[in-house]
Amino acid sequence: MKDLLTVKDLTLTEIEELFELALKLKKELKAGVEHKILAGKSLGMIFAKSSTRTRVSFEVGIYQLGGQGIFLSSNDIQLGRGETIEDTTKVLSRYVDGIMIRTFAHSDVEELAEHATIPIINGLTDDYHPCQALTDLLTIKEYKGELKGLKMTYVGDGNNMAHSLLLAAAKVGMDISIACPQNYQPDEEVVAATKEIAQDSGSMVEITSDILAASEDADVLYTDVWASMGDEDEMEERQEAFTKYQVNSEVMSVAKADAIFLHCLPAHRGEEVTAEVIDGEQSVVFDQAENRLHMQKAIMAKLMK
């Protein structure tokens, strides 16, 4: 495990090791035990897209591990003013011990990794969000115990979250059903790669436009905003397309009685999810958000130690 660009790059053993370490670090933190395993290390944090959870969890996380995070927005570095990714990467590789980048094009992250001599962590691109998907699996594991054989239903846009959840679920042997409008389905190459992984893990992969059929007997229901960052100009057309793709009490009622609800946040109550669901007893979204801290600490510790 040299970098974390997508969940597809990880083996099942590496994923399980991240779970184990994240839970260990979480337990230690709750007990007031310090774990300065990255003392003296620095993480460069490049943000082309703004964030709440990603920035705070990485910055607090590297601090709790004994290191420091350096926030670098597009306005702060020459990368935003014409310097090549290759040149920026070669320079930063001599200053810091790891780079987390949150940006638009996934190809930028791949180019960063190609030229870096230090670990690269994908904090989000338009195509993938591996840190979030690993966090989601960790949260499900805490609530459900085992992951293999569970069914996750994702409702909404076939976006970077859908891509990462597809790959992550297949890796650990979870069944996954994606319910989305016909014109907003996940990328065909990602679906094909997921089905290939699923053949080995024994999981079921389904892409459908029927939200109730997809949600039937689900152990986990998951949704995301209808318009991701960068899609705001399509908001009116997306609201019309996604009107029927809301997680509400009817959808929850066809899932298992002990199903949990997840959302990567921020949430738009009244759009992709009703307030009744996200604020209800089955919702674990704030435990899920907290786990970003613990999972990302585990990722940094594995890559940068």
What gap in Å lies between CA 292 and CA 298, rounded to an integer?
A: 10
Q: What is the pLDDT of residue 38?
A: 98
CA gap 293, 302 in Å, rounded: 14
pLDDT, averaged across the chain? 96
Count of structural domains, the chain: 2
Alpha carbon 12 to chain centroid, angstroms: 17
Per annotation, catalytic residue among 106, 238, 263, 292: 292
User: Is 35 part of the annotated catalytic residue set?
Assistant: no
CA 302 – CA 116 distance, rounded (Å): 17
Residue 151: inside a domain:
yes
Residue 64: active-site member: no
- 102 is an annotated ligand-binding site residue: yes
Clarify whether residues 248 and 295 are in a common domain. no
pLDDT band at 80 (very low <50, low <70, confident <90, very high): low
Residue 129 bears catalytic tag: yes
To the query of whether residue 210 is one of the catalytic residues in this protein, the response is: no
Would the pTM of this model clear 0.85, i.e. be above it? yes
Q: Indicate if the pLDDT at residue 204 is higher than 70.
A: yes
Same domain? For 19 and 156 the reply is: no
User: 81 catalytic, yes or no?
Assistant: no
Measured in degrees and rounded to the nearest 5, phi and psi for residue 120 equal -115, 130
Residue 53 marked as a ligand binder: yes
Residue 228: its pLDDT value, please?
80
160 is in an annotated binding site: yes
Strand partners, 16: none
58 in the same domain as 163: no
Exposure of 292 by Cβ count < 10 A (0-12 exposed, 13-18 middle, 19+ buried)? buried
Residue 130 assigned ligand-binding role:
yes
- Whether 133 and 167 have beta carbons less than 8 Å apart is answered as yes
Residue carrying structure tokens 């992550």? 168
Q: Give the Cβ contact number of residue 34 at 10 Å.
A: 10
**Domain region containing 60:** 12-128+289-304
Residue 2 lies in a domain: no
Which tokens go with 55?
Answer: 């920035």
Tell me which of 102, 106, 238, 263 is the catalytic residue: 102
pLDDT digits (tens, 9 = 90+) for 268-282: 999 999 999 999 999
190 and 272, same domain (yes or no): yes
Structure confidence at residue 189 as a pLDDT band (50, 70, 90)? very high
Instruction: State the average pLDDT over residues 47-76.
Output: 94
104 confidence band (pLDDT: 50, 70, 90): very high
Q: Is 224 a catalytic residue?
A: yes
| pLDDT tens, residue by residue, 126-178 | 999 999 999 999 999 999 999 999 999 999 999 999 999 999 999 999 999 99
Residue 181 is assigned to a ligand binding site: no
Both 85 and 202 in a single domain? no
Q: Are residues 227 and 88 in the same domain?
A: no
- Tens of pLDDT, residue by residue over 14-36, are 999 999 999 999 999 999 999 99
